[in-house]
Amino acid sequence: MAISLSVDDVVVGEDAAYVDFVIRLNEISATAVTVNWQTYNQTAGYNDYTSLSGSLTFSPGVTQMTVRIPITNDSLDEVNEAFTLELYSPSNNVTLAKNVGTAIIVDNDAPSGTPVISISDFIIDEAAGEASFVIILDRPSSQVVSLTYATQ
């Protein structure tokens, strides 16, 4: 059986400070094994975690190592977010069994209440046969805000 590398998926709370990706060799290697890695945005952006890259070297006999990525504990109410760590270019004919690990950051911020929607005065353009309304939120929202409306 060929020696291969894999990276685990991880789920952490936003207040965890770090995501620890565990990288594993499926069996002991008699020689050192090096693999490069890089993080990539998915639904998380660079303000949600620290984008990093690097390489790991497994000494002979070592089968597990960890890559630690700092995450940001912000105060925004947002959906859970994800980023990935990708392994590439392993040495010594080692294969990649699972080269992408996904980190899910579970948001820990309570909603600040439902935004209040208001409608400003309307303008009627009789010549065009239409009316315009300006819809206003009382505060920004990091979530999608939708409303249903009708005219009478």
Q: How many domains does the chain have?
A: 1
Phi-psi region of 142 (alpha: psi -120 to 50; beta: other; left: phi over 0): alpha
Whole-prediction pTM: 0.73
| CATH number of the CATH domain containing 16 | 2.60.40.2030
> CA torsion angle for 29, 32, 33, 36 (degrees, to 10)?
160
Q: Which amino acid is at 62?
A: V
Residue type, 107: D
137 within domain boundaries: no
Span between the terminal Cα atoms of the chain, in Å: 73
The answer to the question of residue 135 being in a domain is no
Reading the block at residue 60, the tokens are 């002979």
Per-residue pLDDT of the chain (152 residues; tens, 9 = 90+): 799 999 999 999 998 999 999 999 999 999 999 999 999 999 888 889 999 999 999 999 999 999 999 998 887 767 789 999 999 999 999 999 999 999 999 987 766 666 778 887 777 777 877 877 788 877 767 677 788 877 77
For 70, the domain range is 4-106
> Would residue 56 count as lying in a domain?
yes
Q: Residue 68 in contact with residue 15, Cβ under 8 Å?
A: no
